[in-house]
């Protein structure tokens, strides 16, 4: 699955931090980890996935 498919299916999910690493934070959605860099966390907080998707740094299978 790619980020476009996740946005279509889960676009209204609000950003929430599920895990953290040295570079940023992860949100888990349907078996994937969506990574947002530490500098962008405050921008993404409280936004639905369909709005903060430009801030996504990477998408990995969980």
Q: What is the pLDDT of residues 3-62, one digit of tens each?
A: 899 999 999 999 999 999 999 999 999 999 999 999 999 999 999 999 999 999 999 998
The three-state secondary structure class of 42 is: helix
pTM for this one? Answer: 0.87
Alpha helices (H) along 1-62: 3-10, 41-44, 49-52
Written as six digits, the tokens of 27 are 């949100």
Domain count, the chain: 1
pLDDT digits (tens, 9 = 90+) for 45-61: 999 999 999 999 999 99
For 23, the domain range is 3-61
For the chain, give percent helix, strand, coil, nearest 5: 35, 35, 30
Q: In this structure, how many other beta carbons lie within 10 angstroms of the beta carbon of residue 4? A: 9
């Amino acid at each position: 699955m790619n980020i476009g498919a996740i946005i279509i299916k889960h676009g209204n999910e609000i950003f929430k931090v599920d895990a953290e690493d040295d570079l940023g934070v992860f949100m888990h959605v349907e078996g994937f980890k969506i990574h947002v860099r530490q500098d962008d966390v405050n921008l993404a907080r409280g936004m639905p996935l369909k709005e903060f998707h430009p801030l996504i740094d990477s998408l990995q299978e969980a």
